[in-house]
Amino acid sequence: MTTNYHTPHVSGDALTAAELNQVYSDLDGAITANAATASTNLQNAINGTTSITQLRLGRTTLTIASGAISVTRSSHFIDTEGGAATDDLDTINGGTDGDVLELYMVSSARTVNLRHNIGNIRTVTGGNIEMVGFQVVQLRFVSSFWVVVPDAGVMTRDGEGAAAVRLRDVTLPAGALAMSAGVGRLSFVPGMDVRNWFACRAAGASVDSIGAGTITTANTPANANDASDTYVTMPTTASSGNAGGIVTAFTMVRRAHNPIMYAIVKTPADITSVRYWIGLGSAAVTNVDSIAAGTSFVGWRFSTVATDTGWRPVTMNGTTQTTAADIGTVAASTRYVLRMRVNDVAGKVFFSVNGGAEVEATATLPASATDLGVVVRVFNQVAAIRQINLSRVWVEYD
């Protein structure tokens, strides 16, 4: 549109249609040209031809309700339900394929646990992500799931379902990295400030103690090594109700020490008419499905008397027993890795079998200060020998 080249009108001049139409035409042309330029600039910014100097996303605060939030934009603060110190986030409602989402903690005093595969949240590691402090988590909506975008750094987590922890800065002591045929290996011995541990392991026809003190063994064990592992077979006698297996002293560890226990066992060819107890107890568990009052226990049971089909997590606080659903199916002549980890502060125990998903237990746990020891026992329910093959038990703790 041309300016300053026209002849000014004065008051009383007549305006012709041609003059007015020319003014309108100039305005239309300017608007069209500016709109086209704006559209081009916007398109260039979207496709990356022109850089965007700064992008600012407005945020609102969403409060978790029954493990869920409903997003309305690409950036949100999140808060725990009722202002609790910790809370679980399982489901994020809202979202269309390709959507981007950033989640921020509303307060550094809160902790939110993003749980994998409970609702519609998925993580790369398959474990949960614990949001603490001012941590930011980015997600993308893919198909029907909100998928966490991994950021740089090494992630580690303490077992299936545990919160992922980022190792942002890792420093190795001098001489820690040894080279063998061009391959680097960590070769240092941890210091004395690491977690404590003890173990029981198969050694021919006996079970050796490694820091576990005196191990009490029933009947006459025998070597049972095979292609899958080293084992000692621990039999009952042929008298119905007889106990086979091992126990340690019942002063080895407490729930307050946050123990993690691994028990690697193999079932024999005959698992009929049998009862197994494997875990940490305050006394030797007897030939029952419900542990006697006064005995605390946390571990697994498989009992054909109780019609168990898999390994069943059991917690007993000395008064009340809680028995969870079967994990998997117990089969004959099969190797099992039973893992249990205790979070004393949270009042939780997590059980898993063969590296599968963890099952959480919170009810009737042994008291934090109760002394416990290892229990691996087999009981026959008929007048015939039954057994279990033990490879090793490993317990680490604070």
The confidence score (pLDDT) of residue 166 equals 56
**Are the CB atoms for 121 and 115 separated by under 8 Å?**
yes
Write the pLDDT tens digit of every residue in 226-240. 999 999 999 999 999
What is the percentage of the chain residues whose pLDDT exceeds 70? 82
The confidence score (pLDDT) of residue 50 equals 78
Write the pLDDT tens digit of every residue in 7-62. 666 777 666 777 667 766 767 777 776 777 777 777 776 676 777 777 788 899 99
Do domains 60-167 and 196-397 share one topology? The answer is: yes
263-272 average pLDDT score: 97
DSSP H stretches of helix in the chain: 17-47
The confidence score (pLDDT) of residue 289 equals 97
172: confidence class by pLDDT, cuts 50, 70, 90: low
The tally of CA atoms less than 13 A away on the side-chain side of residue 68 is 9
Sign of CA dihedral 134, 152, 74, 46: positive
pTM for this predicted structure: 0.59
**Are the CB atoms for 358 and 163 separated by under 8 Å?**
no
Whether the pLDDT of residue 4 is over 80: the answer is: no
Each domain of the chain, given as residue ranges in start order, spans 60-167, 196-397
190-214 average pLDDT score: 86
> What is the rounded CA–CA span in Å between residue 363 and residue 195?
26
CATH number for the segment(s) 196-397: 2.60.120.200
Write the pLDDT tens digit of every residue in 323-336. 999 999 999 999 99
| CATH for 60-167, options being 3.30.1300, 3.40.1710, 2.30.30, 2.60.120 | 2.60.120
| Alpha-carbon separation of residue 53 from 45, 102, 178, 295 (angstroms) | 10, 20, 47, 67
Structure tokens at 197: 């541990």
154-165 average pLDDT score: 53
Write the pLDDT tens digit of every residue in 90-99. 999 999 999 9
> What is the rounded CA–CA span in Å between residue 68 and residue 296?
36
